Amino acid sequence: MLDIRTEADLMLANIALLAERLELAQNAADVALAEVTRFYAGQIGDLKQRLKAAEKELIGLAKKNKKELFAGRDKLELAHGIMLHTVEKRVKRARGMLARLEKLGLDEAIKISKSVDWDALEKWGDEKLAQVGTCRQKKENFSYELKKEAGG
């Protein structure tokens, strides 16, 4: 039976070996992924541009010919897909809106995100923490450091 220190040291050796193997595997995967990405980058970029142009062309066709294509309907079913046409009223996104809302005191249209600053609370004394309903508690942490092999 191993003593507890020897057992812990063997566990550290196993962790070091696994961490090294993981790093090598991740590096190999990164290299392979970079090669595959480079290989397909031109084709993917070209296809993305062509798809975007084709979509823009279809939307342009629909805008120019909406009466003929949709004839008062919002949906057109074709052999290769469905085209949709909707009309909605949206609020125009005007510049300087936040400043105008604040100036007029219209806070109901302003998003305010609040959160606890835990770093600030860490600096407070115990009495002040108790005042807000919390306290310091002990938290045990266990960790380890691996020694690098000489020459490795």
* Residue 148 counted as domain residue: no
pTM of the predicted structure, to 2 decimals: 0.57
* Residue 130 counted as domain residue: no
Tens of pLDDT, residue by residue over 22-56, are: 999 999 999 999 999 999 999 999 999 999 999 99
Q: Which domain holds residue 92?
A: 4-125
Tens of pLDDT, residue by residue over 77-92, are: 999 999 999 989 989 9
Task: Give the β-pairing of 75-78 and 81-84.
Answer: antiparallel
Average pLDDT, the chain: 93
Q: Provide the b/e sequence for 60-87 (b: ≥16 CB within 10 Å).
A: eebeeeeeeeeeeeeeeeeeeeebeeee
**What is the tally of structural domains in the chain?**
1
* Residue 133 counted as domain residue: no
* Residue 109 counted as domain residue: yes
> Residue 84 is encoded by which pair of tokens?
């949709």
* Residue 134 counted as domain residue: no
* Residue 140 counted as domain residue: no
* Pairwise CA distance, residues 73 & 83, whole Å: 11
* Residue 54 counted as domain residue: yes
